[in-house]
């Protein structure tokens, strides 16, 4: 075997080889001999099948196995020459050339290698962390909102019309094309005006109505309505207003504090304000972390931490980006790309820069996680998916199954690692500030 091993850069290598046919033949003989010891072939005792019979029976499969063994030998020798441990490889070696001739096979294999990353003093790249402060006005408004949320609705006795913020108690019945709408009727229904609970136009139509007034609302279901059978259809609602309720007097006292903070039996308005202050400042800090500090830190790392990227991983990232764009293309656009290779190349080139940034960021986050001792267990990923499902009203088991089958779990885990390690670094900088 003629072998040339080339280390292209810190993350890529190439093996160029000529495998002689006689090497493949030797492998075939060896494999056939071993197989003859265990094969069950009619007319021959087990373990006594002649090599010639094995070759005739298994034919091309033996040749493929012989070639595969030659490739494994090529790879092992190449890695040894390059002094690369097999554990450093990313993905499977890519066979980019396998030209078979009568007496030899010309082979080229590309290797993707996990790059060595020198993070340097990454704390020096952390943006300045400022302390978040809640103003008295923000605290008072939040407490006011809490008190309002705890205040019960009371019946409006005065003769007035429904207004935004009221609770309208009403009967309604819906019709499409003169037929009663299934599930589109209710009696004594509590509708919070301004909640956006019903289709557009319904609440606006109720505003201005007075108790015992009846009204016909001519509306239309949105085109993207969740029930496709009635999406985009015209609908008429017969509505009768039976009662108007509004929030009672808002009271801010120690009883409110105890109700809002049930874990603190000694809660007071003052302690409620202190907790509210801490909550607001925590929310502000979280928003700053996610929207400003983390993106700034990632950009600084991308700019200052340099290393070679495995071409294979970059190309895979481009594949995903192109497939994502293709999912929103028309059939004509896709056919045009299929018929013109240059258009696909152009499309891939458009995604290359972002793909490289994404791959680079992934390796940096992985290196940071090792440096900071941050990890995310599989059960934590499952818990996160379950929580997301519950928050969006979906079936947790089904969402987990869908994510697993689509291969999304590693991406979710990586996103969690990124969030955790960046937060840890930012927190460390904040404590030092």
| pLDDT, tens only, 132-166 | 999 999 999 999 999 988 888 999 999 999 999 99
| Bridging pattern class, strands 153-155 and 104-112 | unpaired
The pLDDT of residue 433 is: 55
Q: Residue 412: which pLDDT band, with cuts at 50, 70 and 90?
A: very high
Quote the CA–CA distance of 302 and 116 in Å, as a whole number.
15
Determine what percent of the chain is predicted with pLDDT higher than 70: 100
Determine what percent of the chain is predicted with pLDDT higher than 90: 74
The pLDDT of residue 149 is: 84
Q: Of 5, 74, 84, 12, whose CA–CA distance to 310 is shortest?
A: 12
How high is the mean pLDDT of the chain? 92
Indicate if the pLDDT at residue 431 is higher than 80.
no
For residue 26, give both structure tokens: 């030797």
For residue 129, give the DSSP letter: P
pLDDT digits (tens, 9 = 90+) for 82-108: 999 999 999 999 999 999 998 999 999
Domains and CATH numbers, the chain: 2-112 (3.30.70.1050), 152-247 (3.10.50.40), 269-432 (1.10.3120.10)
The pLDDT of residue 42 is: 76
Q: pTM (2 decimals)?
A: 0.73
Indicate if the pLDDT at residue 338 is higher than 60.
yes
Cα–Cα distances in angstroms (integers) from residue 379 to residues 211, 375, 385, 400, 417, in the given order? 55, 12, 10, 11, 13
What is residue 122's three-state secondary structure?
A: helix
The pLDDT of residue 189 is: 96
Q: Of 21, 27, 131, whose CA–CA distance to 72 is shortest?
A: 27
The pLDDT of residue 173 is: 96
| Bridging pattern class, strands 167-176 and 12-20 | unpaired
């Amino acid at each position: 075997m003629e072998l040339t091993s080339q280390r292209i850069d810190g993350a890529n290598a190439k093996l160029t080889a000529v495998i002689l046919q006689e090497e493949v033949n030797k492998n075939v003989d060896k494999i056939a001999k071993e197989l003859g010891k265990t094969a069950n072939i009619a007319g021959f005792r087990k373990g006594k099948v002649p090599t010639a019979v094995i070759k005739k029976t298994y034919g091309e499969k033996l040749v493929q196995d012989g070639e595969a063994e030659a490739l494994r030998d090529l790879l092992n020798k190449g890695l040894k020459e390059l002094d690369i441990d097999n554990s450093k490889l990313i993905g499977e070696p890519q066979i980019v050339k396998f030209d078979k001739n009568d007496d030899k096979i010309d082979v080229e294999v590309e290797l993707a290698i996990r790059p060595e990353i020198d993070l340097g003093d990454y704390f020096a790249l952390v943006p300045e962390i400022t302390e978040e402060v809640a103003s008295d006005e923000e605290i008072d408004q939040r407490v006011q909102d809490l008190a309002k949320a705890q205040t019960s609705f009371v019946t409006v006795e005065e003769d007035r019309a429904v207004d935004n913020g009221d609770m309208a108690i009403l009967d309604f019945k819906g019709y499409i094309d003169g037929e009663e709408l299934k599930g589109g009727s209710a009696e004594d229904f509590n509708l919070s005006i301004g909640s956006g609970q019903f289709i557009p136009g319904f609440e606006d139509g109720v505003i201005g109505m007075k108790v015992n007034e009846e009204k016909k609302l001519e509306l239309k279901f949105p085109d993207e309505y969740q029930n496709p059978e009635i999406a985009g259809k015209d609908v008429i609602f017969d509505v009768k207003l039976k009662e108007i309720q509004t929030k009672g007097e808002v009271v801010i006292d120690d009883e409110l504090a105890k109700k809002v903070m049930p874990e603190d039996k000694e809660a007071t308005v003052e302690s409620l304000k202190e907790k509210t202050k801490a909550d607001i400042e925590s929310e502000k800090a979280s928003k700053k972390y996610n929207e400003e500090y983390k993106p700034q830190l990632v950009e600084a790392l991308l700019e200052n931490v340099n290393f070679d990227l495995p071409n294979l991983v970059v190309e895979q990232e481009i594949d995903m980006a192109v497939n994502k764009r293709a999912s929103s293309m028309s059939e004509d656009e896709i056919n045009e790309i299929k018929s013109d290779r240059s258009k696909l190349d152009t499309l891939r080139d458009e995604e290359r820069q972002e793909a490289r940034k994404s791959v680079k960021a992934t390796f940096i986050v992985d290196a940071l996680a090792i440096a900071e001792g941050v990890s995310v267990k599989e059960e934590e990923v499952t818990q996160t998916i379950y929580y997301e499902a519950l928050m969006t009203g979906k079936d947790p088991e089904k969402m987990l199954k869908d994510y697993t089958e689509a291969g999304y779990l590693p991406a979710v885990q990586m996103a969690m690692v990124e969030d955790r390690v960046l937060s840890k670094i930012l927190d460390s900088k904040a404590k030092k500030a």
